[in-house]
Structure 1
Amino acid sequence: MKLTKFTHACVRLEKDNQVLVIDPGAYSETGEALAGAQAVLITHEHADHVDVDAVVEALRDNPELHVHAPSGVASQLADKAGDGGRVHAVEPGSSFDAGGFAIRSFGGQHALIHPQIPVVANIGYLVDENVFHPGDSFVVPDGIDVKTLLVPIHAPWSKVGEVVDFVISVRAPKAYPVHDGLLNELGRGLVEAHVTRIGAKYGTTYARLSPLDSVEV
């Protein structure tokens, strides 16, 4: 399976001429990410994870596209696209097929930013028992051996120690960054040095991906 990272939180997965996109947000190259996709997974409602207008346009332009998202996001997209049959609400603890990819969902709640900022629904997705995208949370999939972990490297709701703890709790053999669009090179280097060094002690090899870089996973 080919994994392509886009700016910030978006990734594109490809196998057997099937394309799955996770979190095509406003900070990402959404048009390129969504081109030819059969399925989209959205973790939560924040604009850096879902560019509503871009996803609605993709639904209108591509009759094969199906979108899976928490119920609030799904309702908004279905109303704007005028086609609820291809927009599906996801609950945590479910399993389903999305464009030929086997999906399992985890979590349910966005990490706390501040007590005065409302907490929204957040779903983490495990794709083909391989790639785990947690969205904006550090939920650890229970009873699952994750092979490829997408790590939210930097966020308003996290600190470096929590990022490291997440990596060593999941203990995936491979890890790559997401949620890095607000970091400059100095900040990225500091966080990634800790993740790389401490993650290696627990069997995780972390590697940086720049926007539009691809790897086989």
Structure 2
Amino acid sequence: MRITKFGHACVRIEHEGQVVVLDPGVFTEPEAVDGATAVLVTHLHPDHLHPDNLRATDAPVFTVGQVHDQLREDAPDVAERTTTVAVGAAFDVGLPVRAVGELHNIIHPELPQPYNSGYLVTVGDQTVYHPGDALALPEVPVDLLLCPASAPWLRSEMAVEFVRGVGAPRNLAIHDRIYSETGHQFLAMQMEQLAGPRGLEWVRRGDGEDL
């Protein structure tokens, strides 16, 4: 298994000839989708959904109905190879996947709350969880959590409690364009203090770096 962190919320998983790319949004390098065999999109915000990046591959796209509808308007060529994933559905993209959760975390009560599905991806004997912009607990053991590290809807307390709640031994920081480097250092110190003693490792990688 090879895990590569790309810009902001995008992660690429390679395993036995399968290349699954999650959330290659507007802050993500187009090369993230090179050779992709499937792309998963959690929700319609542009930092997760960028039609130009989806056009940079001919891989099938799997996502929630709201994103599929948006693609029919903005990128009908991509919509033709897009499959809508039902809430809680199990499906196969070359690797087994299960959708988790239904809604984006609340940003503000007066702003829309989009649909959001996180994805549990089974990679050999490992389970990787990308929650998108939600903190839905998967209720199954997870080996690697791709945890949002900064967002308009996220306090550091929420990130710490999410890491504790999921209980994955390794936690890779994603969704990291919001904080400065100083902010990320503060979060890393809090994770070391509050999650580290429980055996929960917090790591951050630069864009294009492997875990």
TM-score by length of 2: 0.93
Match of 1:39 in 2: 38
Match of 2:13 in 1: 13
Post-superposition offset of 1:203: 2.1
Residues in 1 aligned to 2:120 and 2:3: alpha-carbon distance in whole angstroms: 14
Deviations along 1:112-144, whole A, 9 cap, x unmatched?
Answer: 0001111000001000051100000111102x0
State the one-letter code of the partner of 1:97.
Answer: D
1:63-142 correspondence to structure 2 within 5 Å: 65-78=59-72, 80-82=75-77, 84-98=79-93, 100-128=94-122, 130-142=127-139
Match of 1:200 in 2: 196
In structure 2, the gaps of 5 or more residues are none
Percent same amino acid at aligned positions? Answer: 38
State the one-letter code of the partner of 2:34.
Answer: A
Residues in 2 aligned to 1:114 and 1:78: alpha-carbon distance in whole angstroms: 28
Contact 1:124 1:135 (C-alpha < 8 Å) held by counterparts: yes
The number of equivalent residue pairs is: 207
Match of 1:162 in 2: 158
Contact 1:91 1:108 (C-alpha < 8 Å) held by counterparts: no
Contact 1:78 1:87 (C-alpha < 8 Å) held by counterparts: no
Post-superposition offset of 1:74: 1.4
Look up the SS of the partner of 1:3 in the other structure: strand
State the one-letter code of the partner of 2:17.
Answer: N
Residues in 2 aligned to 1:209 and 1:11: alpha-carbon distance in whole angstroms: 11
Deviations along 1:26-73, whole A, 9 cap, x unmatched?
Answer: 0111x1011110100000000000112321x235xx2xx110011011
Look up the SS of the partner of 1:13 in the other structure: strand
Deviations along 1:138-194, whole A, 9 cap, x unmatched?
Answer: 11102x000000110110001111110000001101111000012211111001111
Deviations along 1:91-121, whole A, 9 cap, x unmatched?
Answer: 22110001x1110111000000001111000
Match of 1:53 in 2: 52
1:169-184 correspondence to structure 2 within 5 Å: 169-184=165-180
